[in-house]
Amino acid sequence: MKRHIYKYICLSVILLLTAASCINSDISIKAPLVNGVSNLKYTLNGDSVKLTWTNPQTTASLTASIQYNGGVIAVNGKNPSSYSFGVVQTNVPYMFTVKLLDAAGNLSLGQTVTFTRAGANPVTNVVISQTGSNSVHLAWTLPTETLTSLTLSMGATKVTLPGTQTDYDFQNVTVGAHLFGIVATDGNGLISNTVYSNFKVGPTVVAYLSTDADSLHIVNHEQAAAAKWLFANFPSARFVSFNQIKSGAVDLSQFDVVWWNYDIENGPSLPAIATDATVLGNIQSYYQNGGKLLCSVYAVNYLWNLGRLPGALQTAMQNDAGNGGFNGDVWTVNIDIDGKQDNSTHPLFKGITTTTQGDGEKTFPVIGSGWKENHNCLLVGLPNFLVPGMANNNDAAYSDFCNTYTAKWLGCWGGISDYFTAGIFELDATSTYKGTALAIGIGGIEWDQLNNTGTASMTNPYQANVYTLYTNALSFLKSK
């Protein structure tokens, strides 16, 4: 046994020497074409961190590339030697690696610093809304740790609040853009990073657009119920007819949001007055100059007349018409598209309680047992429309829709657990259309549910969700 062990040891030594010989002869390391920085340091100063470094002695013109755990930052200028970064979040590990870059694109080796900013945990889920002509409401979620105080700022104005408070109203806010901040302080006297939010205060008047002559003579019961709710809850709202726009009696620029709730029994065809050249031109100009639109039911189709969406996409629209009928089910809206695109934190759904289904859907009810008109105005078959043959559960359908149309896909019918249909969507501002639009076309979202025979109004047990949804929609649009 001893002889065999000795042989194995000798063989191992020979193999090691052979391997070492190969390594020495095969590896050749070239020096980098650009020398790296030295003496990299960081200095924390409130919400920001300043990085400083020493550049190598060179006649070349260099720029810097900073890699960190949130991405890559290009620092331009000739031979920069510092960079300030913010906002630095508390209790989050940071790593910054600084490399130099020459004109030919050659990178140096990097030097790295790491740090964690100690402090209180910040508030989350900050939501801002304009609640009057010159008042702004802020609401937020507190961290799990106990706080002693909160400091709110609006520009140079600061307010100190108890650490348990979850909302606050700023009064007498001037029209224009404002920067709001919230800082938390814990029991050890440590502060959090500032949570900043930009918000624009502007006109607060909402226009309720209608084909009827005035608010006292609205023919359709759904449109009448919506108008009654609006004027009761938004006292400054005004009734505006298409004829007033055509005659020039109304200047749309005075309105922050124009809401057209076009819900009728005999189908989606738009009235001639809405597509009149003068009317269409005035509303299009309003929208292109930053006016906000809320389009309900068949009014969603108007977005094509205004030119915001391409004609080809309208072939994917499904418009359901008819007087309706009795249905004993509870109808719901899903706001987690395919169980992967969760919109529950969007301001449109603030304060609405959702139920997570087994397939990942997050749903909330909008109408109970009774007569249902079901006037859908939806985009359907979107995956196949976007890319022929694309499966309904292909994640690319969501990103393709949002990116192609500068949109957010916010909701669909409850029970739809893939990307087949879009019943609620937001159209973000573009360089041509500077306003934001919301489209709510799910037929179960009614304003006046009728009884089992369709002859009289009844109480929908889920009407509060409809009210909250539209309160949020108007508040959200007014904040844009």
Residue 231, domain CATH: 3.40.50.880
Backbone angles phi, psi at 56, to 5 degrees: -70, 160
Spell out the residues 6+ positions from residue 39 whose beta carbon is closer than 8 angstroms to its own: 52, 53, 54
- Domain shared by 426 and 472, yes or no: yes
The string of pLDDT tens digits covering residues 360-374 is 899 999 999 999 999
Q: Which neighbouring-strand residues pair with 168? A: 138
Q: Is residue 91 part of a domain?
A: yes
**Is residue 3 domain-resident?**
no
Q: Are residues 314 and 440 in the same domain?
A: yes
- Per-residue model confidence as pLDDT tens digits over 254-282: 898 999 999 998 889 999 999 999 999 99
From 116, 148, 165, give the residue that closes a domain. Answer: 116
Residues with Cβ within 8 Å of 9's Cβ and at least 6 positions away in sequence, in order, are: none
pTM of the model: 0.64
Q: Judge if 422 and 347 occupy the same domain.
A: yes
What CATH number does the domain containing 188 carry? 2.60.40.10
Residues 322 and 360 in one domain: yes
Helices then strands, each counted (H, E), the chain: 8, 31
DSSP string, 276-323: -HHHHHHHHHHHHTT-EEEEEEGGGGHHHHTTSS-GGGGGGEEE--SS
What crossing angle do the helices spanning 463-479 and 221-233 adopt, rounded to 10°?
60
- In this structure, the answer to whether residues 84 and 165 fall within a common structural domain is no
Residues 153 and 210 grouped into a single domain: no
State the total domains in the chain.
3
pLDDT confidence bin for 10, thresholds 50/70/90: very low
Domain assignment present for residue 383? The answer is yes
Within 10 angstroms of residue 113's Cβ, the number of other Cβ atoms is 16
Answer yes or no: do 301 and 339 share one domain.
yes
Q: Which residue, of 201, 222, 238, is where some domain finishes?
A: 201
Report if residue 22 sits inside a domain: no
> pLDDT tens, 284-309?
999 999 999 999 999 999 999 999 99
String of DSSP letters for 29-93: PPPPSS---EEEEEEEETTEEEEEEEPPS-SS--EEEEEETTEEEEE-SSS--EEEEEPPPBT-E
**296 contacts 264 by C-beta, under 8 angstroms:** no
Q: Report the C-alpha gap between 40 and 50 in whole angstroms.
A: 11
- 454 with 317, same domain: the answer is yes
Q: What is the mean pLDDT of residues 399-413?
A: 96
Q: State the DSSP H helix or E strand holding residue 127, giving kind and residue range, or none if neither.
A: strand 124-130
Q: What is the pLDDT of residue 13?
A: 40
Shared-domain flag, residues 129 and 106: no
**Does residue 470 sit within a domain?**
yes
Residue 102: CB atoms within 10 Å: 15
Pairing, β 317-319 against β 370-372: unpaired
Does residue 172 lie in a domain region?
Answer: yes
Statement to judge: residues 82 and 100 lie in one domain: yes
Does residue 23 fall inside a structural domain? Answer: no
- Any domain includes 278: yes
Quick one: 109 and 139 in the same domain?
A: no
What's the pLDDT tens digit per position in 245-256? 999 999 999 898
Q: Do 158 and 187 reside in the same domain of the chain?
A: yes
| Domain encompassing residue 355 | 206-479
